[in-house]
Amino acid sequence: MGSHSHHLHAGDDLRDAAKTRLTDAGEQWTDMRQAVFEALAGFDRPASAYDIAEAVSKAQGRRVAANSVYRILDLFVTSNLAMRVESANAYVANAHPGCLHDCIFLICDSCGQTTHIDDDKISGGVREAAQKSGFAPVRPVIEVRGTCGECS
């Protein structure tokens, strides 16, 4: 994971980038997967599977079970379309699904706003420390809790 620049996607461009990433991985881009991705991308904060199921249910006029959404979200995380905020059991859409980075989240305890940053130097240091301890890190997730600039 070296230093590089990447294009942040938004709106239809983000949906199209996610679709391309998923289909390139050999998975299908179904109507339900698109609905879940669009609902997830529509949140301005990390969203739970229940939040997403409710949004998709409203959009489709029929009940969508959270269990179905969880399965899709697991696929999205594995395919780098979404990232899981572990401490909140919630998800955010990855604005650059073509780039693989370890997750570093800044989480505001006041308003819940979560910012994802990419800093391969920090996450690389965590990986290196784990390896020196004889641990094989698969996916480091770093969460920093505190107060955002708007709330402080």
For 11-93, CATH number out of 3.30.450.40, 3.40.190.10, 3.20.20.140, 1.10.10.10 equals: 1.10.10.10
Give SS3 for 34.
helix
Percent of the chain past pLDDT 70, that is, above it, reads 90
CATH architecture of 103-146: 2-Layer Sandwich (3.30)
The per-residue DSSP string of 69-109 comes to HHHHHHHHHHTTSEEEEGGGTEEEE-S-TTS---EEEEEET
Q: Is 142 within 8 Å of 126 (Cβ atoms)?
A: yes
Give SS3 for 88.
helix
* Residue 6, pLDDT score: 57
pLDDT tens digit string along 1-43? Answer: 444 455 566 667 789 889 999 999 999 999 999 999 999 999 9
Q: Name the residue with higher pLDDT: 147 or 124.
A: 147
How do the domains of the chain map onto residue ranges?
Answer: 11-93, 103-146
* Residue 75, pLDDT score: 96
Q: Name the residue with higher pLDDT: 9 or 103.
A: 103
The C-alpha angle with vertex 125 and arms to 119 and 126, in degrees rounded to 5, equals 95
- What would the two tokens of residue 30 be? 């179904």
* Residue 1, pLDDT score: 44
* Residue 121, pLDDT score: 83
* Residue 2, pLDDT score: 44
* Residue 3, pLDDT score: 46
pLDDT tens digit string along 118-143? Answer: 787 888 888 889 899 999 877 778 88
* Residue 9, pLDDT score: 65
Mean pLDDT of the chain: 87
pTM of this prediction?
A: 0.80
The per-residue DSSP string of 114-125 comes to EEEE--HHHHHH
